[in-house]
A = this chain, B = another copy of it.
Amino acid sequence: MDEKKLTPKSENYSEWYNQLVQRAEMADYAPVRGCMVVRPYGWALWENIQDALDSRFKATGHVNAAFPLFIPMSFLEKEKEHVEGFSPELAVVTIGGGSVLDEPLIVRPTSETIIGYMYSKWIQSYRDLPLLINQWGNVVRWEMRTRLFLRTLEFYWQEGHTAHATAEEAEEETLQMLDIYTDFARNEAAVPVIPGRKSETEKFAGAVRSYTIEAMMGDKKALQAGTSHNLGQNFAKAFDINFLDENNTRQYCWTTSWGLSTRFIGAIIMTHGDDQGLVLPPRLAPIQLVIVPIYRNDEEREQVLPVVERIKRELEGIRLEVDDRTEVTPGFKFNHWELRGVPLRMEIGPKDVAKNSVALARRDIPGRDGKSFVPQAGINQRVSDLLETIQANMLEKAAKFRDDHIFEPKDYQEFKDVIEKDGWCFVWWHPDAENEAKIKEETKATLRCIPMEQPGGQGKCIYSGEETNIKAYFAKAY
């Protein structure tokens, strides 16, 4: 299966993606429509994503907890926009223990409501605030068109839910988590996301303000890769989350929620992958280095293997695999690990043994340009340095690709041309939900975000021509 060539990205991007996810053994389709099995290699990547995020959450004072999978239907109805947003995509449990339930239970699509209910029990005084809780878990949204990682009925994520004494604090928290997502995406995943605010149309059902990190995929479509919501007092009022402040006055809390899901694995695949397969960022890669011993006979084998063993020991702290299979050729192994995106390959053959060197091949630079021969002495430092170089190069390359496909059209006609060719438009924008809807209808582009980093100055709205000081990104999106 490995040896069959992937459909090239340029030929059929979506087919390339589907083949890659399955052949690299990241995920598989489950027997239930739209559900996925995350296979061990994909889950190992998710575990590394979890570690990178979890340590950032804990460093900023958050703790983890677990709230129930099932939510009474009536809870959802307490927040009007929330229920409108989520009711079309619910999975509903109507039978339990052989009996029809009095009140159907929904399988959580997100947990604001049930967590809001618990917070109203736990929060009494300003001393209980802020309450900063995160949950790692699974949620279910009944999507009609699904794709592995990008959109599945069940997916895995973290959802943070916090409660604060003031509006300012809640907004600070919302932005802090946006920063954490941005930092994680850029520095761990080498995905150069653009952080920004969602439009009123695109914000979370029940939020006052939604923020997002937007990433450009290899086909130039945008992917919303993580979101952070300021919920204002909407859920606090719906669930009566209140506290006595320092003056003994009862106040509603201000709450936030923020999430990043296994969808991010799709972002990594589509940001870095090439026609040979995955290209995984070293900091998150389950396997950072694969060592392939090269020999043609027993004599060479006896020369090579002890050196492989010694070097393996010296590479402590590097996540590595020695591919000592005897039933396949080195060429087969190269393809195998390239498909799986292992950042660095080390080859050790009799010549390397004789010269006290090894050959290294970078996954991010295919072919001869990515190959080097280095001394065995100090190999741990060399490999560590090279992994950092690869990490940096991947970010740079992705940022260049992104910037090369962002345009600043001067009028709506040019805007349409850019979108037609799958570019992103960065344009002056006068916020208006109706105009936003028309653009979507006319071009399929949506407002991805109003980036935090604004150029300043002002200009005429690309659609209405009204004066505005806001610039926004528009693009087709997943």
Contacts of A144 on B, CB cut-off 8 Å? Answer: 97
Contact with B along A87-100 (1 / 0, CB 8 A): 11111111111100
Flag if B105 contacts A72 (CB, 8 Å).
no
Flag if A97 contacts B38 (CB, 8 Å).
no
Measured CB to CB, the nearest residue on chain B to A103 is B32
A30 to B68, CA, bound (A): 7
Flag if A93 contacts B96 (CB, 8 Å).
no
A154 within 8 A of B: yes
Contacts of A439 on B, CB cut-off 8 Å? Answer: none
A320 within 8 A of B: no
Report A341 CB to chain B, min CB distance, Å. 17
Report A95 CB to chain B, min CB distance, Å. 4
A118 within 8 A of B: yes
Flag if B105 contacts A96 (CB, 8 Å).
no
Flag if A66 contacts B93 (CB, 8 Å).
no
Report A357 CB to chain B, min CB distance, Å. 32
Report A44 CB to chain B, min CB distance, Å. 7
A373 to B63, CA, bound (A): 33
Which one of A135-143, A388-396, A421-429 contacts B?
A135-143
Copies in the complex: 2
A133 to B75, CA, bound (A): 37
Flag if A142 contacts B97 (CB, 8 Å).
yes
A142 to B104, CA, bound (A): 14
Measured CB to CB, the nearest residue on chain B to A140 is B69
Contacts of A184 on B, CB cut-off 8 Å? Answer: none
A107 within 8 A of B: yes
Flag if A88 contacts B97 (CB, 8 Å).
yes
Flag if A35 contacts B68 (CB, 8 Å).
yes
Interface residues of A in 122-155 (CB under 8 A from B): 122, 127, 133, 137-138, 140, 142-144, 153-154
A410 to B401, CA, bound (A): 81
Flag if A65 contacts B89 (CB, 8 Å).
no
A93 to B106, CA, bound (A): 9
Contacts of A28 on B, CB cut-off 8 Å? Answer: 118, 121-122
Determine which of B31, B90, B122 lies in contact with A97 in the assembled complex, contact meaning CB atoms within 8 Å. B90
Report A25 CB to chain B, min CB distance, Å. 9
Contacts of A70 on B, CB cut-off 8 Å? Answer: 32, 35, 91, 140, 153-154
Contacts of A137 on B, CB cut-off 8 Å? Answer: 138
Report A125 CB to chain B, min CB distance, Å. 11
Ranked nearest first, the 3 interchain pairs of A and B with the lowest CB-CB distance are: A97-B142, A40-B63, A92-B95
